[in-house]
Structure 1
């Protein structure tokens, strides 16, 4: 249990309460916290989150996994044994306090993309978090005819939210009907036996990502395909280089393009 006396809200930080903790396996967990009434964000953005550390709070950027209309804020995190923050954060329980930044931001938002027909959301590990927010946003289904979520992990147990994604968000009050027709989920596991066990780049090369029920060109097309990348630096560099070679242009909030990455995480 955290000591609430160590938490003092500031102009940049509020103090929120943990409402739920879920451990996916020994090195992956998600948690939800209360949401201030004044807190607004765009689906796909990140915010600073942290715990007290002496005289100054210890903060790190976390993508918000919950949709922008949810009453709570959800996050997905790895457990780093010697990580300055995550080594402590993994031990939080319901009722504990955490610091929350007041200014969400980020480029993994639809505002940074040009209009298109197909949207590929490419994630490794906890890079799935911002995409879980995006795919529960009704506006996404108005902007794109098809949304393909690709999640690459090392082990089967690392496939966070697998049941929700395989069920195409069944039961979601706002998007279940659209997701049933427009959302496609492609998990791949690289270090254990699984029906798909290749890297994301190979999924493009062998045509897996263009197989039915996905329709349209059997290769990436800059005129209609849009891509978001989040996860390991190696994956992002590899896929960004591929997209650049195909004529795709990186976008930003100031100048929308064909694909986006979160510069705050990869530098």
Structure 2
């Protein structure tokens, strides 16, 4: 343990937090970055869950919920974040570097987990912006490929450079130690942007309306079917409200850890 980490650990404000070390930082563009930190040996989570991260503040730590982007079997924890110049936490978090200390909550939680869904054949992971993060974890979870025949991850962003982890996802997770063989057959990735020319443009609702979403190599019905399809959504509030209303009108029921259903959202982020 470095001197900086040890010093921060002595100042940890609560038994509910540990002090971890920043290992890597990747800046995708001027408003988006990802970073990895050490993982405590006792830290356990389900793919799709979020956890509190933070930095020291005046009197109390500055904490915010972040979805875990790394798979549950990884030795490190990875996260995806926007850069907010005036944000109390993100204005400082975007300047972290390897070796810096970071607070990590001990108790991950969330509803974007497979346990909150009923069994099905197709799983749609619909995301905008940094809402991609929990689906990066889920897409690398071997259990997902046992539960569903096909997984389609849709990521909608403003510009092409916002499509974080695009190369890895376009390769169908080639090189992943646990899921690469299954992902080659079962995983599909559909990136789309709204403010630049790209091979796919438009919001997720427009992809659904035009049928382009079902033009991907998906078996089964060319539309959503509550008997066989399961859906997870994470991202902008506008996207979630629009799609939630669509799915409920089709007969989909929202699920939770206590009562699994046909679709789930992370209400901790959308209110």
Q: 1:203 to 1:196 in 2, by over 3 A?
A: same
Q: TM-score, normalised by structure 2?
A: 0.96
* Unpaired segments ≥5 residues, structure 1: none
Cα shift at 1:3: 6.0
2:136 pairs with 1:128 = no
2:182 pairs with 1:182 = no
- Give the number of equivalent residue pairs: 266
Match of 1:11 in 2: 15
Match of 2:156 in 1: 152
Residue 251 of structure 1 contacts residue 257 of structure 1 at CA under 8 Å; is this kept in 2? yes
Deviation string, structure 1 residues 81-140 (Cα, Å, up to 9, x no partner): 000000000000000000000000000000000000000000000000000000000000
Of 40, 43, 56, the residue aligned with 1:39 is 43
Cα shift at 1:212: 4.2
Q: TM-score, normalised by structure 1?
A: 0.98
Q: Distance in 2 between matches of 1:190 and 1:196?
A: 9
User: What are the residue-to-residue correspondences of 1:44-193 with 2, within 5 Å?
Assistant: 44-193=48-197
Q: Distance in 2 between matches of 1:41 and 1:173?
A: 19
Q: Distance in 2 between matches of 1:120 and 1:67?
A: 18
Q: Distance in 2 between matches of 1:206 and 1:223?
A: 22
Q: Which moved more, 1:195-204 or 1:4-13?
A: 4-13
Q: RMSD of the TM alignment (CA)?
A: 1.1
Residue 188 of structure 2 contacts residue 216 of structure 2 at CA under 8 Å; is this kept in 1? no
* Unpaired segments ≥5 residues, structure 2: none
Cα shift at 1:151: 0.2
Residue 210 of structure 1 contacts residue 216 of structure 1 at CA under 8 Å; is this kept in 2? no
Q: Distance in 2 between matches of 1:110 and 1:209?
A: 22
Deviation string, structure 1 residues 151-180 (Cα, Å, up to 9, x no partner): 000000000000000000001110000000
Match of 2:28 in 1: 24
2:215 pairs with 1:236 = no
Q: Distance in 2 between matches of 1:224 and 1:155?
A: 33
Q: Distance in 2 between matches of 1:163 and 1:227?
A: 24
Give 4+ residue runs of structure 1 displaced > 2 Å after superposition.
2-10
Q: Distance in 2 between matches of 1:213 and 1:245?
A: 25
Residue 55 of structure 2 contacts residue 62 of structure 2 at CA under 8 Å; is this kept in 1? yes
